[in-house]
A and B are shown apart, each in its own frame.
Chain A
Amino acid sequence: MCPNTPPPPGPAPRGVALLFPGQGAQQPLMSAGLYRAHQPFRRLMDEAFEVWGAEGAALRADWLSDSPAVDLDGVRRAQPLLFAVDWALGRMVLDWGVRPAALLGHSVGEVAAATLAGVFTLEEAAGLMAERVAHIESAPAGGMLAVHAAAADMAPYLHADVVVGAVNAPRQVILAGSEAPLAASEARLRAAGFTCRRTRALSPFHSPALAPAAEAALPSLARLPLRAPRLPVVSAYTAGPLTPAEAADPRFWAGQPAAPVLFGPALDTLLCTGELLLLEAGPGQGLTALAKRHPAVGTGRSAALGLLPARARGDASDLHTLRKAVERLLSEGQLAHDPLPLPSPAGAP
């Protein structure tokens, strides 16, 4: 429920909000079809890889490889690649001339959102990501477990080492913890009849186990000239608008890997601002699926769609999905011109 009545529908086109997925959304060859077929996206991805230097070349090679040298689900590959894909897709949409009403990122997606909003430069964000990866890699291993349940129902299954790492929707929470205690909680949840699924994470993201890693990132962040956001960002850590004071606080950014993600409440906040076309700027359509279940989208006031397909295949389906999103933006009056030079490929799925 919105605290205030949302503005009534008017003749103006509804606003666009970009959603940026985080850890768990990564897929082999995510957006690789777009990278091969669409030059503007390729240039942006290459720009992101370049600021990482030699590590960027290794990232790119593993991303496009059938047999990556480093596990794509581990923090060293998943986090920078998710950041790069989210950032490049978001930058591409901004370059089309779309002026989003808001940006909302899940987990590392919030770093991409903040970078697009000008809190960090791309170089600063890359430095932040590189440090984050190094610190989290040296933290205890663990994982994350998606549970079809309300956060309030999880209390009996939590303890010091297993916490609610994310509240994604009224009936979707992600537990996070070190491996053995998380497995024990999972067994008890399954015995109690809860539907559970491991997410693609090898670290206990958004749990206190990462607090030392979060603290270690503070000195570097404190040296950055953190800027006020130039685009509205809804933070998934506060479920409110990112304020200039929060954006300028190094602790706000350093603490994120150890703090719970409140994506569901943040989506409520976002959808209470008015009628929106939500575009998921990242791999898969996990956030789109969550948004589709939101009453504001289910009733048709707002809508959600992905810029990339639900399942990455590294082929023409990437361009086909992007084409569908562009056609939606054109039909809603969000774009003055078709930004894609190529027609929809014949025979694409």
Chain B
Amino acid sequence: MSDANATVTGVTELTVEDLTRIMRESAGEDESVDLSGDILDSDFTELGYDSLALLETAGRISRDYGVELSDDDLDGIATPREFLTAVNRTLTAAA
């Protein structure tokens, strides 16, 4: 949490653990999300993440990792696996 506002430089891969942590951080304290178990191929809506919540998660990743995903990119993404693939494609291209 200490460098949550600093851009993580030199990172070339977002892991499922990173994504899970950021998804948790993007939920409010008055909310409850269950991200235990293997979430890679779960639909985001089944995890409680609608398009706005996914956008909030993507916004945090953009801020922390310097990766931009457009609304159109996000519209085609249904699962954490697809999300990681899209982010990591961009990270690899930028490295």
Interface residues of A (CB under 8 A from B): 146-148, 150, 169-172, 195, 197, 284-286, 288-290, 292-295, 297-300, 305-306, 310-311
What chain B residues lie within 8 Å of A172 (beta carbons)?
52-53
Instruction: Select A293's contact among B48, B55, B59, beta carbons within 8 Å.
Output: B48
Shortest distance from the beta carbon of B42 to any chain A beta carbon, whole Å: 11
- Nearest first, the 5 closest Cβ-Cβ pairs linking A and B are A298-B32, A292-B48, A289-B50, A285-B45, A310-B45
A59 to B34, CA, bound (A): 39
Q: Does B12 belong to the interface (CB within 8 Å)?
A: no
Known contacts A197-B71, A285-B46, A310-B43, A148 near B52 by CB under 8 Å: yes
**Besides the known contacts A195-B55, A289-B44, 19 further A-B residue pairs in the complex with CB atoms under 8 A apart:** A146-B51, A171-B27, A171-B31, A172-B52, A195-B56, A284-B45, A286-B45, A286-B50, A289-B48, A289-B49, A289-B53, A290-B50, A293-B53, A295-B31, A295-B32, A298-B32, A305-B46, A310-B45, A310-B46
**Nearest Cβ distance between residue B74 and chain A, in whole angstroms?**
9
Counted as pairs of residues, one from A and one from B, with CB atoms less than 8 Å apart, the total is: 76
Chain A residue numbers with a CB within 8 Å of B50 are 285-286, 289-290
B38 at interface (Cβ–Cβ under 8 A)?
no
Min Cβ gap A144→B in Å is 12
Nearest neighbor of B60 in chain A, beta-carbon distance: A195
Contact assessment for A170 and B32 in the assembled complex, using a CB-CB cutoff below 8 Å: no
CA distance A147 to B59 in the complex (A): 13
Residues of A close to B28: CB separation below 8 A: 150, 170-171
- Which residues on the B side are within 8 Å of A197 (C-beta)? 51-52, 55, 71
Tell me if B33 is interfacial: C-beta within 8 Å of chain A.
yes
A293 touches B51 (CB 8 A): no
Complex contact B30–A170 (CB within 8 A): yes
Does B78 sit within 8 A of A, measured CB to CB? yes
* B47 proximal to A (CB < 8 A): yes
Please determine whether A294 and B32 come into contact, CB atoms closer than 8 angstroms.
yes
B 19-46 to A, binary, CB cutoff 8 A, 1 in contact else 0: 0000000011011111000000001111
User: Is A292 in contact with B33, judged by CB distance below 8 angstroms?
Assistant: yes
Contact-residue size bin, chain B (C-beta under 8 Å from the other chain): 20 to 34
Specify which chain B residues have a CB less than 8 angstroms from the CB of A294 in the assembled complex. Answer: 31-32
Distance, CA A169 to CA B48, complexed state (A)? 12
| B56→A292 contact, CB < 8 A | no
CB-defined contacts of B27 to chain A, threshold 8 Å: 171, 293
Shortest CB-to-CB span from B82 to chain A, Å, is 12
**How far does the Cβ of A93 sit from chain B's closest Cβ, in whole Å?**
20
Q: Nearest CB to that of B30 among chain A residues?
A: A170
| Given A292-B46, A293-B27, A146:B33 Cβ within 8 A | no
Complexed CA–CA distance, A200 and B1 (Å): 36
A298→B45 contact, CB < 8 A? no
Q: How far is the CA of A61 from the CA of B49 in the complex (A)?
A: 32
B52 touches A195 (CB 8 A): yes
